[in-house]
Amino acid sequence: MSLEDLLTSSKGCFWINVHSPTDKDMTLLSRFFRIHPLTAEDILTEDAREKCEIFRHYYFISFRTFEMDPSNDGYLDPMPMYMIVFKEGILSFHSHANPHPRNVLRRIQQMMEGASITPDWINYALIDDITDHFQPVIRLVEREVDSVDELVLILNESEQSDMLRRIGLARKTVISLLRLLTAKPDVVKSLMKRFETSAMNGGNGTSTTGQVGGGSSGGTSLLNMNETGLYLGDIQDHLVTMIQNTNHYEAILSRSHANYLAQISFEITQASNRTNDVVAKLSALASILVPLNLVTGLWGMNVPVPGQESGDLTWFHTIVTILLISAIIVVYITRRVGII
């Protein structure tokens, strides 16, 4: 059965999920669904910029998810996902494996039989599932930030070697989250504005009522245009809250980093002061011993010295007394000035 026969024979709206589309795939889909060349180019080149663009008979959403496996070297790397929403259905595209289409399909299957699903709702469900996957990462970051903030000032020197690495990894994660989250509220806001405009125009946009799995197209819709806009507003609230929390975590990590460096600087200063005290004491000791060593060294040379011809120890006692007095004077002076 051809694609045209499949779509015309099915009841309700359609959803086609395309993984790693090729040039041939996009050419076929563009011709069949009349997709604008700029949209096809964005999908093929994997344009990472998040946006919402309105065309004549569809609107195009670029929304980034991320690598969710912590053991992967590309953990938290952005992975773009694209949705083209028509009046009759939706196309979704992604180049990397992710659980979002499967989760949304499971969500649809768990709904009441006969419930009507619109293309706008499927688009909302994909965006909502992407947004929900940020929550576990943010909770992990929150616990790590709280731990770092509590430990950075109480660890001893032997336990601080790992702290700088933990702060660096936590800041890297926070920055990655901010890069992924920053543009998302604008995309959701553009979608909400589109729904508001369509509602004011009497619902003449691309949205329509349809069903997956049967039912009449004129039945009661599960989510009408205004309700979908309300659900998008809830997503925007979640995104804004996550961005605010992430900015708060970045501020805490920045403060913890500064406190850690200040503590390291303080410890280095203390060690330097202790070294200076030791050097000062050694200098004072040298001030006592060097003059004594100089004088006594003269008597060890093969040269005439005072008292050499004397038959008693008067010169010896005099020199020893002078050395002792000079040593006492040096010790007194160094103690007076606080060197020792």
Structural domains in the chain plus CATH codes: 11-269 (3.30.460.20), 274-336 (1.20.58)
> Which residue matches tokens 């979002």?
100
Q: What is the pLDDT of residue 104?
A: 95
Q: Specify the higher pLDDT residue, 28 or 213.
A: 28
Structural Rg of the chain based on CA atoms: 39
The count of residues in the chain is 340
Q: What is the pLDDT of residues 233-263, one digit of tens each?
A: 999 999 999 999 999 999 999 999 998 888 8
Q: CA angle, 51 as apex, 225 and 19 as ends, to 5°?
A: 90
Mean predicted lDDT score pLDDT of the chain: 84
pTM for this predicted structure:
0.77
Look at residue 225 in the predicted model and tell me its pLDDT.
66
Q: What integer pLDDT is reported at residue 293 of this predicted model?
A: 80
When pLDDT is averaged across residues 303-327 and rounded to a whole number, the result is: 77
pLDDT category of residue 123 using cuts at 50, 70 and 90: very high
Q: Confidence band (pLDDT; 50, 70, 90) for 22?
A: very high
**What pLDDT was estimated at residue 323?**
82
* Count of CA atoms in the C-beta half-sphere (13 A) of 227: 10
pLDDT score at 219: 37
Give the pLDDT of residue 124: 94
Higher pLDDT, 155 or 215: 155
Bridge partners of residue 34, in order along the sequence:
none
CA dihedral 106, 108, 112, 118 (to 10 degrees): 180
pLDDT at 183: 93
End-to-end CA separation in angstroms for the chain = 99
